[in-house]
Amino acid sequence: MDQFTIFGCFIFILRSCSGTQLEEDYLKFPPGFSIGSASSAYQVEGAWNVSGKTPSVWDWFTHKKDSTVMDQATGDIACDSYHKYKEDIAMMKDIGFRHYRFSLSWTRILPTGFPDKISQEGLQYYKDLIDEVRRQGMEPFVTIYHWDHPEFMNRLGSWTNELMVEYYAEYARIVFRELGSRVKVWATLNEPEQNCRLGFAKDVHAPGINLPYFGEYLCLHNYLKAHARAYQIYNEEFRAEQGGQVGIVHLCEHFFPQPSHDLETSRIGFECGCGWATHPIFSKEGNYPQVMRERVNGNSKLEGLPFSRLPKFSPDWIKRIRGSSDFLGINVYTAREVRAMPREKNGIWPNDFGTELIINETWPVNTAWLRVIPQALGEILRRIRDVYDNPPVYIMENGATSAKGVNDYNRIEYLHDYMKEMLLAINRDGCNVKGYTIWSFLDSFEWSEGYTDLFGLVEVDFTDPNRKRTPRLSTKWLKKIMQKGRLINIKDLGQLN
């Protein structure tokens, strides 16, 4: 062995030692970091017509004769969590989760949609649910609205009608007043951008207002105002006494530029994706991202319209929306590639933004819309850190489907790889991430996919009137993680069975 080889070995040992040590440190969850799982009212509760509850837009959408939902499935019974929540919460407690994210059904609390009539029975259900979560040592993360507004508001145009801003704000006030002493983490709204795209520019989700390049902009505009009003109400009437945090949950997914050096297209993809709803709240200047305004306004003008299809905020609204969140909640599942599309001959930007989103066919498939790209989580967290001055972030949804049965090795691998990217973003790159939430606790009604996409850590037998629950293997792995306070390598999986 010559000198150089010995020296080389020495260096190699040093580097691998420090590498391992660093890696070990990186895989620890920071002190106070909260891990939990999630659901939403329509997807799990069932009991669609009890306790005076009136139909929501999703009851209407799934009950329609020409329903486009897979297998014409409905949430009438779903997981029956309305009756079985104690069993669910006991299983979460057994895993060692620190929080449970769920949502409130508007029409279960306000059967007319308005505060003229409060259903005490509906309200009591949520008080009991919240108390049970707390009794079992977990923090309730409560989403006030997760897509299921009163059906009659649909006939008024739902989120395309600005009246929704005050309707929602009145509902939020009741919720803060009645439940706020028990809740420290609120999310006003879930994924407005996704609801606006799939429900207002397409007919895939309720309400199915299929007005592309128009409906989604109008919808999100009112959503953002509604959020800001709820935030203002909390500040003025409840914050001093209740001392909670109020945030919003956005779908923020990373777009890898194609070709990879096209950073400008990557930036535009981000601004017109995650930035559409995030920039108005979390940027210094507020309002929609500049590139988005330029391109949609420009297109509208070239189309000969007297105004832009992208609605304009007054300076007052820009101010009220800017800063209206104590944290940013993000949902992350997958990623896309983004490619620049040059202006057409007449100057029009294709797709309004001059970008095209594509699936890279080499990426592993989980379910139809979900390709597994763990690095994308790190990329989006670092982008949020850089663009919005490192705000507190809660990951409010992340997860994947598995096949029927309890051996969900692919889910463990998915969660491991995404959590690892998250921990590197936190511990190595300084991203201010406060919590991580797995979608979903139970197999649930997955919107247009009905009961065919199984996202649950816990399997639910939907053919059993009792909706029997069976924890999957991933719950054992998660229990170990919760005990150790650090990510466990998937090589240790053998010990789980």
Amino acid present at 257: P
Q: How far apart are CA 315 and CA 325, in angstroms?
A: 18
In the bound state with ligand NAG, the residue whose beta carbon lies nearer, of 101 and 108, is 108
Backbone angles phi, psi at 251, to 5 degrees: -85, 110
Q: How far is the CB of 142 from ligand NAG (least distance, A)?
A: 26
* Residue 361 is a catalytic residue: no
DSSP letter for 465, please: T
Interaction mask 237-276, ligand NAG, x per CB under 6 A: ---------------------x------------------
Give alpha helix (H) positions in 187-238: 192-200, 215-233
Rounded to 10 deg, the angle between the 192-200 and 215-233 helix axes is: 150
Contact assessment for residue 485 and residue 25, using Cβ atoms and an 8 Å cutoff = no
Q: How far apart are CA 208 and CA 195, in angstroms?
A: 10
CA 241-245-249 angle, to 5 degrees, is: 145
Q: Which of 314, 362, 466, 495 binds ligand NAG (CB under 6 A)?
A: 362
Contact assessment for residue 462 and residue 468, using Cβ atoms and an 8 Å cutoff = no
Q: In sequence order, what are the residues at sequence separation of 6 or more whose Cβ sits closer than 8 angstroms to the Cβ of residue 23? A: none
Q: How far is the CB of 337 from ligand NAG (least distance, A)?
A: 5
CA 454-458-461 angle, to 5 degrees, is: 70
Q: How far apart are CA 147 and CA 309, in angstroms?
A: 23
**By rule CB under 6 A, what count of residues binds ligand NAG?**
6
Q: How far is the CB of 12 from ligand NAG (least distance, A)?
A: 29
**Sheet of strand 335-340, all strands in order from the earlier edge strand to the far edge:** 254-257, 335-340, 355-358
Q: How far is the CB of 374 from ligand NAG (least distance, A)?
A: 11
Q: How far apart are CA 240 and CA 227, in angstroms?
A: 19
* Residue 397 is a catalytic residue: yes
In the bound state with ligand NAG, the residue whose beta carbon lies nearer, of 59 and 397, is 59
Q: Are strands 433-439 and 34-38 parallel, antiparallel or unpaired?
A: parallel
Q: Which of 20, 49, 120, 235 binds ligand NAG (CB under 6 A)?
A: 49
In the bound state with ligand NAG, the residue whose beta carbon lies nearer, of 152 and 213, is 152
In the bound state with ligand NAG, the residue whose beta carbon lies nearer, of 72 and 360, is 360
Q: Which of 45, 139, 151, 191 is catalytic?
A: 191
CA 120-123-126 angle, to 5 degrees, is: 150
Q: How far is the CB of 49 from ligand NAG (least distance, A)?
A: 4
Q: How far is CA 447 from CA 31, 44, 146, 243, 261, in A?
A: 36, 11, 12, 34, 37
Question: Which residues partner with 254 through β-bridges?
Answer: 335
Q: Which of 148, 191, 271, 337 binds ligand NAG (CB under 6 A)?
A: 337
Give the SS3 label for residue 8: helix
In the bound state with ligand NAG, the residue whose beta carbon lies nearer, of 5 and 362, is 362
Question: Considering the rule CB under 6 A, would residue 76 count as an interface residue with ligand NAG?
Answer: yes
In the bound state with ligand NAG, the residue whose beta carbon lies nearer, of 466 and 497, is 466
Q: How far is the CB of 78 from ligand NAG (least distance, A)?
A: 10
Q: Which of 139, 397, 421, 459 is catalytic?
A: 397
CA 377-378-381 angle, to 5 degrees, is: 85
Q: How far is the CB of 345 from ligand NAG (least distance, A)?
A: 27
Q: Which residue has the tokens 């247009």?
A: 448
DSSP letter for 104, please: -
Interaction mask 5-44, ligand NAG, x per CB under 6 A: ----------------------------------------
Q: How far is the CB of 375 from ligand NAG (least distance, A)?
A: 8
Contact assessment for residue 219 and residue 159, using Cβ atoms and an 8 Å cutoff = yes
In the bound state with ligand NAG, the residue whose beta carbon lies nearer, of 346 and 362, is 362
Q: Which residue has the tokens 């407690």?
A: 93
In the bound state with ligand NAG, the residue whose beta carbon lies nearer, of 125 and 168, is 125
In the bound state with ligand NAG, the residue whose beta carbon lies nearer, of 76 and 413, is 76
Contact assessment for residue 168 and residue 226, using Cβ atoms and an 8 Å cutoff = yes
Q: How far apart are CA 22 and CA 26, in angstroms?
A: 6
Give me the active site residues, please: 191, 397
What residue ranges bind ligand NAG (CB under 6 A)? 49, 76, 258, 337, 360, 362
